[in-house]
A and B are shown apart, each in its own frame.
Chain A
Amino acid sequence: MEDIGWIERIDLFRWPLLAALLAALVAPAVGAFLYVRRTSFHGIVLPQFAAAGVVFSYAILGWWIETIGLGGLTLEEALHDPHAASTFGLAWGAAFTVAGLAALVWSGRRGGPEAARAAAAFAVASALVLVFGRLSPIGRGQVDQLLQGESLGVGVHDVEVLAGALGLAAACLAWFGRDLVLTSFDRETAVVLGKNATALEGLFHGIVALVVSAGTLILGPILVFGLLVVPALAARPWARSMHTFVGLSVAFGVASAFAGEAASLEWDLPLGPAIVVASALFLAPARFARNRS
């Protein structure tokens, strides 16, 4: 990295840098909602489920192509076709995320300590990643990159997929954000006022699943759960309204992305972990903030 200048480095890694920036714009806003719903642990557990789904997709890719087929591609072609492999991985990542989310919501309704359920789910999801990774005869390099948060191999197709998924999630949050705040804060009043609380909660879970599965597939679980959890935690003590809470979470996320990207390019660090470490710097001043509400 020392032989080339900053402009060349940014140009060389423009797609991963752009992808991380997109994630930093949307994931912290979703994280702010997870925080006030006291479900931040979803931000830790679900990316791990998504990662298990992506690794699982590599484990079954050969069998799938032989028995069901993937657009007429051979295994070799599928592994080198950016569209085929990532779309297949996205589908399985989303399926595992939705399954993990459904399990968390269902077990939550049956009561019991949330921290214990989250810890158990995280342990299971992490074990699944390792088991599927061992069972996967192919894609070892992609899986290792994914788990280590090394996303410098992200290409234009990945950015297109991520922009589509995150754009849809951001549009839903903008359109339904007010009703989501009402439903999360006071579900019964929302129903009395004529809101379909069940549909709104389903929509929110869908937004979480979309952001987590697309983000994990392209940027890895570490960056996604870092951006879902840390900026919201840092922003809450400074916020007096939901608008400022969401706005500050996004601002901290974007600032972390810039700082982490700079550190990654300067010292050749893995991009995802560098951004998460940068975001943790915002936690320190939060300790001195008066709780404003």
Chain B
Amino acid sequence: MSVLVRLEQAAFGYNGRPVVAGVDLEVRAGDFLGIVGPNGGGKTTLFRGLLGLLPPLAGRVERSATRIGYVPQRESLDPIFPLRVEDVVRMGAYGQLSGLRRLGRAQRAAALDAIARVGLADKARAGFASLSGGERQRALLARALLSRPNLLLLDEPTSGVDRGAQRRILDLLHEIHVHDGLAVLLVSHQIGLLREAAREVLWVADGRVVRGSAAEYLAPERLDRLYAASGTEDED
């Protein structure tokens, strides 16, 4: 399996101060990884480093032919914008456009296909802000897919949505992972769902990152020990 992202002794942080350090990690095509750990342990910092939003303070970050599809937390998007679902999804193709060039027929069709794939075909022209939390999350997933990624990074994709919507999002992610061969990396506090979805996890605590099997790290007894050691509580 080809390496999509390689970190060698990487450190990420803010204002010159590392929050996570000494990270050696390879994300390969075919990976389905969850990022877990206590609050303040460095999950978000590592995630932003992998996305390229934070430059490394030390070490090396290599991305070879990596096309990242990013699904942000939907709460970070302001409902004041008058945007339809198709407007939001089409943003996934903006990386290929500049200046006055408009979306081509093929890109518009691909946007509609992506919307249909996440089960929102009947809501393509609905206001993005009028959707339920789960529907908005699926629209953002469709936008990420339109950028034709080989690595999908998702920030808390199932938080704040009901059980049915969580199930639907995870099934969709599984289908995309298996069918399209996309590597998936997601941050989540919902350990129960991660236990079902991810094969491996990155345990991030006290500025360190450890990779291990999901079954092993997310076993309730082990989690209790890990959270107790970091002085926080399991949130699931």
Contacts and interface: CB of A to CB of B under 8 A. Distances in A.
Contacts of B147: 193
A60 B84 CA distance: 51
B95 A293 contact: no
Nearest to B155: A188
A245 B83 CA distance: 10
A122 to B, nearest CB: 22
B52 A192 contact: yes
Contact of B53 (A184, A185, A192): A192
Contacts of A194: 95
Given A191-B52, A292-B127, A239 B97 contact: no
A179 interface: yes
B82 A236 contact: yes
Contact of B76 (A36, A181, A186): A186
Contacts of B70: 188-189, 192
Contacts of B81: 36, 181, 184-185, 242, 293
A198 interface: no
B104 interface: no
Contact of B68 (A174, A192, A195, A242): A192
A38 B51 CA distance: 27
Interface string A24-44: 000000000001101000000
A293 B72 contact: no
Contacts of B100: 174-175
A74 interface: no
Contact of B91 (A174, A189, A244): A189
A195 B94 contact: yes
Given A36-B78, A182-B91, A189-B70, A242 B52 contact: no
Given A192-B52, A193-B95, A242 B76 contact: no
Interface in B59-114: 68, 70, 72, 76-84, 87-88, 91-92, 94-95, 97-100
A292 B82 contact: yes
B172 interface: no
B83 to A, nearest CB: 7
Nearest to B91: A182
A40 to B, nearest CB: 11
Contacts of A181: 81
Interface residues of B, number: 31
Given A36-B78, A178-B94, A293 B84 contact: yes
Contacts of A236: 82
A107 interface: no
Contact of A240 (B52, B72, B79, B127): B127
Interface in A247-293: 292-293
B130 interface: yes
Given A188-B70, A189-B72, A178 B127 contact: no
Contacts of A178: 94, 97
B49 to A, nearest CB: 13
A293 B52 contact: no
B97 A293 contact: no
B203 to A, nearest CB: 24
A249 to B, nearest CB: 11
A293 B83 contact: yes
A233 to B, nearest CB: 12
Interface string A166-200: 00000000110011011011101111111100000
Contacts of A195: 94-95
A242 B82 contact: yes
A193 B94 contact: yes
A179 B91 CA distance: 9
- Taking each of B77, B91, B92, B98, which has the highest tally of chain A beta carbons within 10 Å of its own beta carbon? B91
B53 A188 contact: yes
A240 B127 CA distance: 7
Contacts of B68: 192
A194 B68 CA distance: 10
Contacts of B79: 293
B107 to A, nearest CB: 13
17 contacts: A35-B80, A36-B80, A38-B80, A178-B97, A185-B77, A185-B78, A185-B88, A186-B91, A188-B53, A188-B72, A192-B51, A192-B53, A193-B147, A245-B82, A292-B82, A293-B129, A293-B130
* 3 nearest A-B residue pairs (beta carbon): A293-B127, A193-B95, A239-B82
Interface of B: 51-53, 68, 70, 72, 76-84, 87-88, 91-92, 94-95, 97-100, 127-130, 143, 147
Interface of A: 35-36, 38, 174-175, 178-179, 181-182, 184-186, 188-195, 236, 239-242, 244-245, 292-293
